[in-house]
């Protein structure tokens, strides 16, 4: 007869030094008194018509169950397979539609019977039981994972104008460029420095999302002379509105886009914007700083191709 590892565990019964007898198969229970069965609990039971289950634990079971009836639900799940076997065994459903029982390395069983008489079962291994216990006792609660798909958001400039040094009049500056445009040039038609100012006002669409990339897109005007051999630079600036622009140029703060070089009429100029500058509910203030007397004209906020801020987030 094999000796189960569980039999090496001494369980105090309160009666001398006797230890419960642990079985591994029905044959182990024959010596203890006839037609015995080894329950899933690892203890022998014997036929007894007075028990609802038809079986009663023997005297060598632990003191708390010795001599008591085997509960019907335990008796229904009893398997003759070795509860300490290395590999879990799966018994198919009987002809009468009884549920499948799985016995695992931990000796745990679980079974279910659907309306059709076929069974479903899940396996509880030592690792599964340990994992379940860890999750149940975790102070932080069960782990959850949320997968989000990237999405794009596009904003059109609220302000896209220019100011000429000493004049600081967005309307007057725009007249030189033509309809729906503004000028960026070290020497405009009046030989003044014309700087572009663009503001994007963001709503709460990005609230709670992570910005992964952002770009600003400008369209060069379609007229002769609108292009340039050396386009402007892109800077961040102090906050501004039309009233403050009329009184003087805001300070430029940080260069975020070098000159892209020559730009043709009707072309798009695209600069990347650091993601940390783009925030839900905030405004992004940008300056287009001229670096050449061969400046260029850019389509403004009222045109069919206004400056755009294109954002990817998740």
Per residue in 250-294, pLDDT tens? 999 999 999 999 999 999 999 999 999 999 999 999 999 999 999
Three-state DSSP class for residue 243: helix
Measured between alpha carbons, how far is 235 from 273 in angstroms, rounded to an integer? 10
pTM above 0.85, yes or no: no
Measured between alpha carbons, how far is 86 from 280 in angstroms, rounded to an integer? 57
* Cα angle for residues 216, 220, 222 (degrees, 5° grid): 150
Residue with tokens 């019964």: 13
How high is the pLDDT of residue 31? 56
Lowest mean pLDDT among 143-152, 182-191, 230-239, 305-314: 143-152
Residue 85 half-sphere exposure, CB side, CA atoms within 13 Å? 15
Bigger pLDDT: 236 vs 38: 236
Residue 98: pLDDT above 60? no
Residue 130 has φ and ψ, to the nearest 5°, of -65, -40
Question: Which one-letter DSSP state was computed for residue 242?
Answer: H
Percent of all residues in the chain with a pLDDT value above 70, rounded to a whole number: 69
Residue 122: pLDDT above 70? no
Name the token pair of 226.
């609108």
Reported confidence tier of residue 93, pLDDT bands at 50, 70, 90:
very low
Reported confidence tier of residue 139, pLDDT bands at 50, 70, 90:
very low
Q: Which fold has domain 151-313?
A: Jelly Rolls (2.60.120)
Residue 205: pLDDT above 70? yes
In the chain, domain spans: 1-82, 85-123, 151-313
């Amino acid at each position: 007869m094999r000796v189960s590892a569980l039999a090496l565990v001494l369980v105090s019964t309160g009666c001398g030094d006797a230890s419960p007898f642990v079985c591994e198969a029905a044959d182990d229970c024959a010596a203890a008194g006839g037609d015995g069965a080894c329950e899933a609990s690892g203890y022998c039971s014997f036929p007894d018509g007075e028990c609802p289950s038809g079986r009663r634990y023997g005297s060598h079971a632990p003191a708390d169950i010795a001599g008591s009836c085997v509960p019907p639900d335990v008796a229904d799940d009893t398997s003759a397979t070795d509860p300490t076997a290395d590999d879990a065994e799966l018994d198919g459903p009987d002809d009468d539609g009884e549920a499948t029982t799985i016995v695992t390395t931990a000796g745990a069983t679980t079974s279910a019977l659907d309306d059709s008489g076929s069974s479903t079962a899940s396996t509880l291994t030592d690792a599964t039981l340990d994992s379940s216990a860890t999750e149940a006792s975790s102070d932080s609660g069960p782990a959850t994972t949320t997968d989000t798909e990237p999405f794009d958001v596009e904003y059109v400039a609220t302000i896209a104008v220019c100011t000429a040094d000493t004049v600081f009049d967005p309307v007057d500056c725009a007249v030189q460029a033509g309809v729906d445009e503004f000028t960026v040039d070290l020497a405009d038609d009046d030989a003044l420095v014309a700087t572009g100012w663009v503001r994007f006002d963001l709503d709460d669409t990005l609230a709670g999302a992570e910005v992964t990339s952002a770009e600003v897109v400008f369209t060069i005007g379609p007229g002769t002379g609108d292009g340039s051999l050396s386009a402007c630079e892109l800077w961040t600036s102090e906050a501004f509105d039309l009233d403050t622009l009329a009184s003087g140029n805001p300070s430029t703060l940080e260069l975020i886009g070098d000159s892209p070089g020559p730009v043709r009429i009707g072309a798009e100029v695209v600069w990347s914007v650091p993601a940390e500058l783009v925030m839900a509910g905030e405004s992004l203030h940008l300056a287009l700083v001229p670096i050449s007397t061969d400046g260029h004209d850019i389509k403004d906020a009222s045109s069919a191709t206004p400056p755009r801020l294109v954002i990817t987030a998740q």
